[in-house]
Amino acid sequence: MQQFQQYIGGAFEDGTAQFDSLDPATGQVWANMPEASAEDVNRAVVAAETAFFSSEWAGMTASARGKLLLRLAELIAENAPRLAELETRDTGKIIRETSAQIAYVAEYFRYYAGLADKIEGAHLPIDKPDMEVWLRREPLGVVAAVVPWNSQLFLSAVKIGPALAAGCTVVLKASEDGPAPMLEFARIFDQAGFPKGVLNVITGGPKTGATLTSHPKVAHVAFTGGPETARHIVRNSAENLASTSLELGGKSPFIVFDDADLDSAVNAQVSGIFAATGQSCVAGSRLVVQDTIKEEFLARLKEKAEAVVIGAPDDMATEVGPLCTRKQRDHAMDLIERSVAQGAKLITGGHPVDRTGFYFPPTILDCDDARDADSLTNEFFGPVLSVVSFKDEAEAIEIANNTRFGLASGLFTQNLTRTHRMIRAIRAGIVWVNTYRAVSPIAPFGGHGLSGHGREGGIEAALEYTKIKSVWLRT
């Protein structure tokens, strides 16, 4: 049984309590994780606050912070196989995806390393001749970062990178479902040479998360997870009036017009929904397809979905692995049963795979006769695609926007003017045209409505970790 440790104030500790972590591919306990108590959370926040005001960190130049982030990026690249293996083992995310994503994690840290000394203030041309007025951009303070189980290394990197580039310090709470990659990340971070307490990594469930996000010394909460948890966090942070950035779920429309390149659209839809076994906030979980091509598109999609290789997450040949938890697998069953009872037609999948572990196959539901079906309206973190057809552009827009989420969207068409009209009309933080799921450290990422607020990636993310100080100087 492997033991993992939490990381507080630059020291590794077992924690006062521990919990078991299950291997989603077998359902068996494989590791022991430290569960942060309220006292541990408090020590982590105090360590982060002490570091924030320390001369080593507060007095460090921005370019020196950038150099440390660059060193971290190098260490991540050197340790990529170990990090990817641990994420696969503890969360069931397939090794193909964790190996590819860890390269991105290093890229994001490289990007924020370069950005650290480009976070600028401003000089204001005020209309008083004897005054100099300028704006200083200063770091917010202690950031509480809370992440879910899926893509933990990535979702943490997009918080830690810009926060440290801006000069903040961080307490990261890894998900209780699969924290191993983040606890290992702490070991790598420790070698990069940052002052003690700049990053602290703990884990535990909702109670630990609530203790952290309501801590009076926390200036900002950077959260990725579900909308219900986000509501708790906002209520908790109200006590301190801490700011929040919330990256929540989605019910992203994947819109295909009959003039689209169908091969490319089918391939993008397959990976758009079934990658990460559907446990992705940007999953294109609603196929909105023009009625003239619906039959052909569904036939092609069914063939591809049934050909997907389901297997062990640590096998490079596997394309769809297990869900992260038994609870998710059981939710998938419930959702399908309810949606079929509501009138949705099962095109493929829908029944648990006959093997040990939390497997569930790629599933497609035709919801044309059940437009209120739960699978079409509720966010669900699994490999379930719901399909509806449309007659014309106006109906495509109406269906696409018929959700309180607003994270991502996909649009497949060859018509340029329609593309521009659709981009304007779609209510989502991201519109991917003739592609899906593309990401880059340079491009901001985030949504509106129930998908949250704030941006990760790009310069916007770094600015979210800063506050403005106006300075007036009489000359």
Catalytic residue ranges: 247
Pick one of 88, 98, 229, 339: the residue that binds ligand NAD (CB under 6 A): 229
CB 280 within 8 A of CB 245: no
Q: Give the binding range for ligand NAD (CB under 6 A) out of 135-143, 248-256, 297-305, 433-441.
A: 248-256
> Which residue number, 325 or 389, has a Cβ lying nearer to ligand NAD?
325
Total number of residues that touch ligand NAD (CB under 6 A): 28
Q: Pattern 369-408, binding to ligand NAD, x per CB under 6 A?
A: ----------x-x-------------------------x-
Pick one of 225, 311, 313, 458: the residue that binds ligand NAD (CB under 6 A): 225
CB 290 within 8 A of CB 415: no
**Is residue 213 at the binding interface for ligand NAD, with CB under 6 A as the rule?**
yes
Token pair listed for 336: 């399908």
Pick one of 139, 249, 278, 313: the residue that binds ligand NAD (CB under 6 A): 249
- Tell me how far apart the 2 most distant CA atoms of the chain are, in Å: 79
**Is residue 148 at the binding interface for ligand NAD, with CB under 6 A as the rule?**
yes
Residue 64 contacts by C-beta under 8 Å, 6 or more apart in sequence?
Answer: none
Pick one of 5, 101, 169, 175: the residue that binds ligand NAD (CB under 6 A): 175
- Give the burial class of 445: count Cβ atoms within 10 A of its Cβ; 0-12 exposed, 13-18 middle, 19 or more buried: buried
Residue 135 zone, left/alpha/beta (φ > 0; ψ -120 to 50; rest): beta
**Is residue 159 at the binding interface for ligand NAD, with CB under 6 A as the rule?**
no
Rounded (5°) CA angle 26-32-34: 140
Angle between helices 152-166 and 80-91 (to 10 degrees): 130
> Which residue number, 195 or 313, has a Cβ lying nearer to ligand NAD?
313
The per-residue DSSP string of 376-411 comes to HHS---SSEEEEEEESSHHHHHHHHT-SSEES--EE
Q: Give the binding range for ligand NAD (CB under 6 A) out of 28-36, 112-120, 146-154, 359-367.
A: 146-154
Residue 213 CB, nearest approach to ligand NAD (Å): 5
- One-letter amino acid for residue 297 of the chain: F
**Is residue 90 at the binding interface for ligand NAD, with CB under 6 A as the rule?**
no
Residue 152 CB, nearest approach to ligand NAD (Å): 9
- How far, in Å, CA of 412 to CA of 433, rounded? 6
Pick one of 23, 87, 247, 314: the residue that binds ligand NAD (CB under 6 A): 247
**Is residue 232 at the binding interface for ligand NAD, with CB under 6 A as the rule?**
yes
Token pair listed for 16: 């006062």
Token pair listed for 184: 């290992």
**Is residue 210 at the binding interface for ligand NAD, with CB under 6 A as the rule?**
yes
Residue 456 is given by DSSP the state B
> Which residue number, 203 or 389, has a Cβ lying nearer to ligand NAD?
203
Q: Which of 225, 138, 216 is nearest to 173 (CA)?
A: 225
> Which residue number, 146 or 370, has a Cβ lying nearer to ligand NAD?
146
Q: Which of 389, 378, 396, 394 is nearest to 450 (CA)?
A: 378
Pick one of 48, 146, 157, 192: the residue that binds ligand NAD (CB under 6 A): 146
**Is residue 97 at the binding interface for ligand NAD, with CB under 6 A as the rule?**
no
Residue 241 CB, nearest approach to ligand NAD (Å): 17
- How far, in Å, CA of 120 to CA of 127, rounded? 22
- How far, in Å, CA of 272 to CA of 286, rounded? 10
Residues 254-313 that bind ligand NAD (CB under 6 A): 281
Residue 168 CB, nearest approach to ligand NAD (Å): 19
> Which residue number, 248 or 287, has a Cβ lying nearer to ligand NAD?
248
- How far, in Å, CA of 332 to CA of 375, rounded? 9
User: What residues line the site for ligand NAD (CB under 6 A)?
Assistant: 146-150, 155, 173, 175-176, 205-206, 209-210, 213, 224-226, 229, 232-233, 247-250, 281, 379, 381, 407
